[in-house]
A and B are shown apart, each in its own frame.
Chain A
C-alpha cells in the first residue's frame, strides 16, 4: 500500500500475556519509529530504527518491551508479560532517511490489557 500499515488494529489481551505489534513502513523508507499514546497524553517516543539497527533503546519503558526490524522493512514491537499500564495506542511512523524528514504515521494499534 501507499501508507504505513499496522496490525492488528485492535488487540485485547489478558495481563501477563505477550503481544506482538506489527508495522509495515512505506516502501523505501529507511527510518522507522515507534510511539505510545496513552489516553489523553501526547506521543511517547519509544524507539527508532535506521535500517535494521536501533541506535538507542533507552526510550523503551521497561525490559518487557523489545523491538526488531528485518530486511529494512517490517518491524515488530513485542511486549512481554503485559501489564494494565501498557494499555495505549501504539503508533508507528516511517520517514525516507531519518533526521529532519517528515514522518508518516500509521493508524495505530489500540492495545487493551485486562
Chain B
C-alpha cells in the first residue's frame, strides 16, 4: 500500500540556517509529489509539486525539493530559514486514481 513517511516530528533551526525536511514514500509507479505548509490558524497551502521532468523543483517562499527515485525520497529544502517559516509541513503522494496520502507532518520551530 502507498504510504508517506516523515521521520522528523519536530525540527528546530536557527533563523538564517539552512533547512531540510525529509520525506520518503512507498508507491509502485512514479507518484505525484507535493509539499504543503500549515501555519497556525491557517489552511494548508501548497509549497511545490513534482510530476515529471526536472527532479529539482522550485516552490514558493524560497523552498525547493528534489525527487530521488532511487531513494524514494522528496526532501524539502530552504537555504536560509526565516522566523515566518515556523509551521507544520506535510509531504503528500498522489496516485493515478486521485487518492492522496499525507505524511504525519514535521513541525518546524525557528529560533531567533
Q: Which residues does A use to contact B, with CB under 8 Å?
A: 3-4, 31, 33, 35, 40-45, 48, 50, 55-56, 59, 91, 93, 98-100, 102-108
- Flag if B100 contacts A33 (CB, 8 Å): yes
Contact A41 B46 (CB under 8 A): no
Contacts of A98 in B (CB 8 A): 98
Expressed in whole angstroms, the Cα–Cα distance for A11 and B97 within the complex equals 32
Q: SS class of chain B's interface: helix, strand, loop or mixed?
A: strand
- Looking at the complex, which one of B4, B46, B99 makes contact with A102 (CB distance below 8 Å)? B46
| The residue from B6, B32, B94, B99 contacting A56, defined by CB atoms under 8 A apart | B99
User: Which partner residue on chain B sits nearest A93 by CB separation?
Assistant: B44
Q: A50-B98, A56-B97, A91-B44 are in contact. Are A42 and B105 (CB under 8 A)?
A: yes
A105 to B98, alpha carbons, bound, how many Å?
16
Interface membership of B25, Cβ < 8 A: no
B102 contacts chain A at the CB level, 8 A cutoff: yes
Asked if B98 contacts A31 (CB within 8 A), the reply is yes
Taking a contact as CB atoms under 8 Å apart, the answer to whether B32 and A43 are in contact is no
Would A99 and B96 count as touching, CB distance under 8 A? Answer: yes
* A44 and chain B: residue at smallest CB distance: B102
Q: Are A100 and B94 in contact (CB under 8 A)?
A: yes
Q: Do the beta carbons of A45 and B104 come within 8 Å of each other?
A: no
Instruction: Answer whether A59 and B99 are a contact pair too, CB < 8 Å, given A42-B104, A102-B49.
Output: yes
With A42-B104, A59-B99 known as contacts, the answer to whether A100 contacts B46 (CB < 8 A) is no
Asked whether B51 lies within 8 Å of A43 as measured between CB atoms, the reply is no
Q: How far is the CA of A71 from the CA of B99 in the complex (A)?
A: 22
Q: Which residue of B lies closest to A106 (CB)?
A: B43
Given A56-B99, A100-B32, 7 other A-B contacts at CB below 8 A? A3-B43, A42-B104, A43-B100, A45-B100, A56-B97, A59-B99, A99-B96
Q: How far is the CA of A57 from the CA of B101 in the complex (A)?
A: 15
Look across to chain B and name the residue whose beta carbon is closest to the beta carbon of A40.
B104
1/0 per residue, CB under 8 A from A, across B78-112: the answer is 00000000000010101011111111110000000
A29 → B minimal CB distance (Å): 13
- Asked if B102 and A43 sit within 8 Å, CB to CB, the answer is yes
Residues in A whose Cβ lies below 8 Å from that of B102: 35, 42-45
